[in-house]
């Protein structure tokens, strides 16, 4: 199976990955052979700290081998096609973890027939949102459907994957973006088609939000964005996560997928303050990715 987005997982598979991630977190020794004898190629077109290290460490802990491929060396689409790269990787490896500029590149990599996992593209960041939801579950060990989650910022890949996860699990998520920076319309159509009864609300008026348990933000300038800093600050500054905002909303958790642009989308005071769970969120990348790999290779027999 491929995980190009969370749309590729059923709601029950998402729940299962989260439960498994929790089990792996407390009992890692039980999963030391999940990838025994398997090698996973990691093709990265863009920079990464958390994703690269957590996948490499996770694959190692599952008994497998990770092979990092810098796209500047492989030159997808230039030295050879993405399809040819994937077909060659399938001669030696059993899966591809890929961080790419365009979602279509992931689709081209599926020519190989070995599993392809999205490690971030322009539309989705599924492993991030699995870690986000696991972190919220740990912070609120109740029925997650009563937790009010607010996402502030651009309707980007991180936001869209969180929206799919929330829709699948019937979570209450409010997404507030500056006008013109909301989620992609094609994405919204897919979300509404796959989860017609979801509880994800999208808007632009932060003043209309009276309360949130969880406040989540991400960088205002994603990798590859070309707009100027002046234009970005003008549009996004009213949506900054700061102490006044978290107090007004009576928030109890602040999340950020990192890297953070301190004192832009989130102030130092909040990012380093008692509500911040950003390092727990980063740590959880390891467990959800191990769980995803275990499910794909051990339970689904890839």
Q: Please, which residue, 51 or 112, has the CB nearer to ligand CP? A: 51
Report the C-alpha gap between 170 and 209 in whole angstroms.
19
Adjacent-strand bridge partners of 164: none
Residue 139 annotated to the active site:
no
Q: Please, which residue, 96 or 120, has the CB nearer to ligand CP?
A: 120
Strand, helix or coil for residue 5: coil
Can 128 be counted among the known catalytic residues? yes
For position 51 contacting ligand CP by CB under 6 A, the verdict is yes
**Binding of ligand CP at residue 111 (CB under 6 A)?**
no
Residue 38 or 125 with smaller CB distance to ligand CP: 125
Q: What angle do CA 298, 301, 302 make, to 5 degrees?
A: 105
CA 113 to each of CA 83, 99, 127, 156, 255: distance values in angstroms, whole numbers, following the listed order: 10, 18, 21, 28, 35
Q: How many residues bind ligand CP (CB under 6 A)?
A: 9
Stretch that binds ligand CP, among 45-53, 105-113, 145-153, 166-174 (CB under 6 A): 45-53
Closest approach of ligand CP to the CB of residue 132, in Å: 10
DSSP 64-131: -EEEEEEHHHH-BTTTB-HHHHHHHHHHH-SEEEEE-S-HHHHHHHGGGSS-EEES--SS--HHHHHH
Would you state the structure tokens that stand for residue 264, as one six-digit string?
A: 């832009």
Least distance between ligand CP and beta carbon 105 (Å): 17
| Residue 258 sits in the site that holds ligand CP (CB under 6 A) | yes
Q: Which of 13, 21, 50, 249 binds ligand CP (CB under 6 A)?
A: 50
Active-site entry in 124, 125, 139, 256: 125
Which C-beta is closer to ligand CP: that of 235 or that of 258? 258
Task: Give the other-Cβ count within 10 Å of 23's Cβ.
Answer: 15
Backbone φ and ψ of 217, nearest 5°? -135, 165
Contact segment (CB under 6 A) with ligand CP among 22-30, 141-149, 228-236, 256-264 equals 256-264
- Report the C-alpha gap between 287 and 231 in whole angstroms: 38
Contact between 279 and ligand CP (CB under 6 A)? Answer: no
CB of 81 to ligand CP, least distance (A): 26
Binding mask 61-100 for ligand CP (x = CB under 6 A): ----------------------------------------
- Measured CA to CA, the distance from residue 125 to residue 15 in angstroms comes to 17
Tell me whether residue 52 is one of the annotated catalytic residues.
Answer: no
Active site residue: 121, 127, 159, 257, which one? Answer: 257
Annotation says 145 is catalytic: no
Is 272 designated active site?
Answer: no
The sign of the torsion formed by the CA atoms of 120, 121, 122, 124 equals negative
C-alpha distances out from residue 267 to 49, 236, 246, Å: 21, 14, 11
In the residue annotation, 79 being an active-site residue is answered as no
With binding defined as CB under 6 A, does residue 49 bind ligand CP? yes
Q: Which of residues 146-175 bind ligand CP (CB under 6 A)?
A: none
**Cβ–Cβ under 8 Å, residues 68 and 97:** no
Minimum distance of ligand CP from residue 285's CB (angstroms) = 7
Structure tokens at 59: 């694959």
Active centre residues (catalytic): 99, 125, 128, 218, 257, 285
Q: Which residues sit at the interface with ligand CP, rule CB under 6 A? A: 48-51, 120, 128, 257-259
């Amino acid at each position: 199976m491929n995980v190009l987005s969370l749309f590729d997982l059923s709601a029950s598979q998402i729940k299962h990955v989260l439960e498994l991630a929790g089990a792996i977190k407390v009992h890692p020794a039980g999963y030391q052979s999940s990838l025994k004898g398997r090698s996973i190629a990691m093709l990265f077109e863009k920079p990464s700290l958390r994703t690269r290290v957590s996948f490499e460490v996770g694959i190692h802990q599952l008994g497998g081998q990770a092979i990092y491929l810098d796209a500047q060396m492989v030159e997808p689409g230039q030295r050879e096609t993405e399809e040819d790269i994937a077909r060659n990787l399938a001669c030696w490896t059993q899966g591809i973890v890929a961080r790419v500029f365009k979602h279509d590149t992931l689709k081209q990599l599926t020519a190989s027939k070995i599993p392809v996992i999205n490690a971030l593209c322009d539309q989705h960041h599924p492993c991030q949102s699995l870690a986000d939801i696991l972190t919220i579950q740990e912070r609120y060990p109740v029925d997650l459907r009563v937790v009010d989650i607010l996402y502030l910022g651009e309707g980007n890949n991180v936001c869209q994957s969180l929206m799919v996860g929330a829709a699948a699990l019937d979570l209450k998520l409010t997404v507030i973006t500056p006008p013109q920076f909301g989620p992609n319309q094609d994405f919204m159509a897919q979300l509404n088609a796959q989860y017609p009864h979801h509880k994800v609300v999208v808007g632009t008026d932060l003043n209309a939000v009276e309360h949130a348990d969880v406040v989540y933000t991400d960088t205002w300038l994603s990798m590859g964005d070309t707009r100027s800093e002046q234009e970005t600050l003008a549009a996004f500054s009213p949506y900054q996560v700061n102490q006044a905002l978290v107090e007004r909303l009576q928030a109890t958790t602040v999340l950020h997928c990192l890297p953070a642009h301190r004192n832009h989308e989130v102030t130092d005071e909040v990012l380093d303050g008692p509500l911040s769970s950003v390092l727990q969120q980063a740590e959880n990348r390891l467990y959800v990715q191990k769980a995803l790999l275990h499910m794909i290779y051990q339970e689904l027999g890839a």
